[in-house]
């Protein structure tokens, strides 16, 4: 699928703001793919479709996880997590993308997972550092991302977990598992 066609496919599913975010993720993902030697075309499609289900009906997504997806554990950790695994499912069904590397990059873009592929890491990080993101600590993560992909992801995960803890929100155990996995690997 060509870039223009993919952008036309995603646009009706997003708000203006979320579409601008998606273009930012695309830009960051292509830069990271070049720097770290990932497939440009796969990075492009994964970036464009990563938030495909961001505005889908939450009840519909909960039902989908119950009935169709193997990992039900996200149901207990807040609705924000639904759009990643459900997005991968809908992108396969509705857009016809079958490449499992692309689908996994969409599936794990919010939480990460232990043993992420290079493409998964790039989409996870691009989602965090794209130029439109302004949250505290993002500039430091952008700088680390130029040198060390794994260290940048650890910093992003640490920021996200800190943010969740401060707000008294649930932390998905696999997010912590991802953090621990990368720290242990780096030793």
- In the complex, least distance from residue 111 CB atom to ligand DGI, rounded to whole angstroms: 5
142 binds, options ligand DGI, Fe ion, none, Cβ within 5 to 8 A by partner type? none
x-or-dash pattern for ligand DGI, window 121-150, by CB under 6 A? ------x-----------------------
Rg (CA), the chain: 15
Closest CB 123 distance from ligand DGI, rounded Å: 10
Work out the widest C-alpha separation in the chain, in whole angstroms.
45
In angstroms, give the least distance from the CB of 112 to ligand DGI: 8
Selected range binding Fe ion among 43-51, 68-76, 93-101, 136-144, rule: CB under 5 A: 43-51
3 state SS for the chain: CCHHHHHHHHHHHCCHHHHHHHHHHHHHHHHHHHHHCCCHHHHHHHHHHCCCCCCCCHHHHHHHHHHHCCCCHHHHCCHHHCHHHHHHHHHHHHHCCCCHHHHHHHHCCCCCCCCCCHHHHHHHHHHHHCCCCCCCCHHHHHHHHCCCHHHHHHHHHHHHHHHHHHCCCCCCHHHHHHHHHHHHHHC
Pick from 5, 76, 139, 170: which binds ligand DGI (CB under 6 A)? 170
Q: Give least dist CB 175 to ligand DGI, A.
A: 3
Residue selected from 77, 90, 108, 179 as contacting ligand DGI according to rule CB under 6 A: 77
Query: Under the criterion CB under 5 A, does residue 127 sit at the interface with Fe ion?
Result: yes
With contacts defined by CB under 5 A, name the span among 112-120, 124-132, 140-148, 170-178 that binds Fe ion.
124-132
73 makes contact with ligand DGI (CB under 6 A): no
Identity of the residue, 38 or 120, whose beta carbon is nearer to Fe ion in the bound complex: 120
Q: Which residues bind Fe ion (CB under 5 A)?
A: 51, 127
């Amino acid at each position: 699928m060509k870039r223009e066609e993919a952008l036309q496919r995603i646009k009706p599913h997003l708000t203006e703001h979320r579409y601008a975010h998606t273009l930012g993720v695309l830009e960051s993902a292509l830069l990271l793919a070049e720097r770290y030697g990932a497939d440009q075309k796969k990075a492009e499609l994964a970036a464009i479709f990563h938030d495909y289900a961001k505005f889908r009906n939450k009840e519909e997504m909960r039902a989908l996880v119950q009935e169709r997806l193997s990992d039900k554990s996200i149901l207990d950790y807040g609705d924000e997590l639904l759009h990643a695994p459900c997005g991968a499912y809908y992108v396969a069904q509705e857009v016809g993308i079958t490449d499992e590397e692309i689908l996994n990059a969409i599936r794990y873009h919010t939480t990460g997972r232990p043993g992420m592929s290079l493409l998964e890491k790039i989409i996870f990080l691009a989602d965090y550092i794209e130029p439109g993101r302004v949250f505290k600590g993002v500039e430091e993560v952008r700088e680390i991302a130029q040198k060390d992909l794994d260290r940048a992801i650890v910093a992003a995960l640490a920021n996200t977990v800190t943010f969740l803890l401060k707000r008294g929100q649930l932390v998905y155990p696999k997010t912590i598992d991802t953090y621990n996995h990368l720290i242990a690997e780096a030793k």
